[in-house]
């Protein structure tokens, strides 16, 4: 083979080698751009998932706080039930003790009757009027006996003393019995009310725990989605790294081949300077032209890929701008409603609370006392019991209820709970599980116990 042919073959090899060196990285660069575009979309999804997870964590934290508050209310209420049950036991013991006193007193009364009868007989035997004995022994009951004896003008002063003691013991006995029985009934009524309230609190806790479980499930699903996206993103990142490593190796290999070809060309050129010089010049011009074309193609493709990426990026903010957030409408619910806002999250439910300055200062209310206090801040005096509040104004239909109206619920009993309607299907009140709070009466627990009674305060 002549030297000229060798140069032609050598130059052709160089051109093919250089063309391949530029073409392969260009194709792989396009692959990287496509993968990077996929990663951008996945990372956006990961960011959204993280936001959802953070929001769910906040909701879960809120639920945990609410459950803790409910459990605290249950614990306090349970203690009140135990204390009441103990008081009932103590009162029942007092009644048993009183029964023994009654029995002893009845025995004393019977003995005094015998004494009076004996005195009457003695009086007759000593020459007294027979009519006296007939009056005394003819009585059909102790009350009649006392009345008859008291009517006899000739009875001695000692007998009068016995009769006075009889009447005093009897009156004392009746007073003690009435007091203890009244206390026992009051304690039993309180026990029923407390147990009813405990059942209500347990229902609210069950609902809150159920909501918490749903949030935890949703959070778990979102975490799994996020992990899946992160794994996919990591896989794409590894793909990009692998492609770049292959490009680097390919470039190194082509650079090595080019160096070898350059070395061979230099050897050929040195063997025949004159003819090889013109051939080498022609080869360099051809190589330069080929490089220019390959470089232009690579630049054009990179620019096209870049523009495509920019168009994709520009489309996303435009889409995000179409999102809107709705804000809840507000309504003027009056000073009776706004007065209670300072106690939201800063109060506790207390059975029978809200009726002393100390309770009010510490945010301790039951439902009816809170309603009465709130309206008092607006200059309106209302009673502090649910039964009395039913008659504190005129009743209107549920469809006509307005902010400021009183709304009632059948909890542990009919109309066992009351609050102030604030609009939007919500009411403010002192709930046994949360203290003073705004609750939804269109869904959940309160929707189930709302009885439709609405009272408009006069």
* Cα–Cα distance for residue pair 39/21, rounded to 1 Å: 27
Q: Are 138 and 148 in contact (CB under 8 A)?
A: yes
With cut-offs at 50, 70 and 90, classify the pLDDT of residue 386.
Answer: very high
Q: Are 389 and 419 in contact (CB under 8 A)?
A: no
With cut-offs at 50, 70 and 90, classify the pLDDT of residue 149.
Answer: low
* Cα–Cα distance for residue pair 446/204, rounded to 1 Å: 9
Which region among 86-90, 257-261, 287-291, 360-364 has the lowest average model confidence (pLDDT)? 287-291
Q: Are 454 and 405 in contact (CB under 8 A)?
A: yes
What's 322's DSSP letter?
Answer: T
Q: What is the mean pLDDT of residues 200-205?
A: 85
- The model carries a pTM of 0.45
Q: Are 71 and 185 in contact (CB under 8 A)?
A: no
With cut-offs at 50, 70 and 90, classify the pLDDT of residue 367.
Answer: very high
Specify the 3-state DSSP secondary structure of 392: coil
Which region among 85-89, 111-115, 334-338, 361-365 has the lowest average model confidence (pLDDT)? 111-115
* Cα–Cα distance for residue pair 383/350, rounded to 1 Å: 17
φ, ψ dihedrals at 423, nearest 5°: 100, 160
Q: What is the pLDDT of residues 246-261, one digit of tens each?
A: 888 878 877 876 676 5
The DSSP element (H or E) to which 438 belongs, if any, is strand 435-440
Alpha helix (H) residue ranges in 126-156: 130-137, 142-151
Q: How many C-beta neighbours within 10 Å does residue 349 have?
A: 28
Residue indicated by tokens 């003393």: 161
Q: What is the mean pLDDT of residues 308-322?
A: 37
With cut-offs at 50, 70 and 90, classify the pLDDT of residue 24.
Answer: low
* Cα–Cα distance for residue pair 36/47, rounded to 1 Å: 16
Q: What is the mean pLDDT of residues 428-453?
A: 95
User: Which residue has better confidence, 8 or 355?
Assistant: 355
């Amino acid at each position: 083979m002549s030297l000229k042919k060798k140069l032609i073959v050598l130059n052709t090899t160089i051109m093919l080698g250089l063309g391949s060196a530029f073409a392969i990285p260009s194709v792989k660069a396009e692959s990287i751009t496509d993968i990077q575009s996929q990663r951008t979309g996945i990372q956006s999804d990961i960011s959204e998932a993280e936001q959802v997870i953070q929001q769910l964590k906040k909701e879960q934290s809120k639920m945990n706080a609410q459950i803790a508050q409910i459990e605290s209310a249950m614990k306090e209420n349970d203690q009140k039930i135990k204390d009441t049950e103990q008081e009932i036991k103590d009162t029942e013991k007092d009644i048993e003790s009183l029964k023994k006193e009654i029995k002893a007193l009845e025995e004393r009364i019977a003995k005094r009757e015998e004494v009076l009868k004996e005195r009457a007989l003695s009086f007759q035997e000593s020459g007294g009027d027979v009519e006296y004995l007939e009056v005394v022994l003819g009585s059909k009951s102790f009350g009649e006996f006392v009345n008859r004896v008291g009517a006899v003008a000739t009875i001695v002063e000692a007998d009068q003393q016995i009769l006075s003691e009889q009447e005093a013991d009897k009156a004392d006995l009746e007073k003690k019995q009435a007091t203890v029985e009244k206390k026992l009934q009051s304690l039993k009524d309180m026990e029923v009310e407390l147990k009813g309230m405990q059942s209500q609190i347990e229902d609210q806790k069950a609902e809150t725990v159920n909501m918490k479980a749903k949030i935890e499930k949703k959070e778990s699903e979102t975490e799994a989605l996020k992990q899946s996206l992160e794994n996919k993103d990591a896989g794409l990142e590894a793909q990009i790294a692998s492609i770049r490593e292959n490009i680097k190796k390919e470039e190194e290999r082509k650079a090595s081949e080019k160096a070898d070809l350059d070395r061979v060309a230099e050897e050929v050129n040195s063997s025949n300077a004159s003819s090889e010089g013109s051939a080498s010049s022609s080869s360099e011009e051809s190589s330069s032209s080929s490089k220019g074309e390959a470089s232009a193609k690579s630049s054009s493709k990179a620019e096209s890929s870049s523009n495509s990426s920019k168009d994709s990026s520009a489309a996303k903010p435009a889409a995000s701008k179409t999102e809107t957030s709705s804000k809840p409408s507000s309504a003027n619910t009056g000073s009776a409603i706004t007065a209670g806002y300072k106690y939201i999250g800063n109060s506790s439910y207390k059975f029978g609370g809200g009726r002393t300055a100390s309770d009010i200062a510490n945010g301790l209310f039951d439902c009816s006392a809170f309603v009465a206090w709130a309206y008092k801040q607006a200059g309106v005096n209302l009673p502090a019991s649910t039964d009395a509040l039913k008659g504190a104004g005129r009743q209107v239909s549920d469809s006509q209820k307005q902010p400021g109206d009183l709304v009632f619920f059948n909890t542990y009993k009919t109309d066992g709970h009351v609050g102030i309607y604030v609009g939007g299907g919500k009411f403010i009140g002192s709930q046994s599980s949360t203290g003073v709070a705004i609750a939804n009466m269109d869904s959940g627990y309160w929707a189930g116990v709302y009885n439709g009674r609405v009272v408009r305060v006069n």
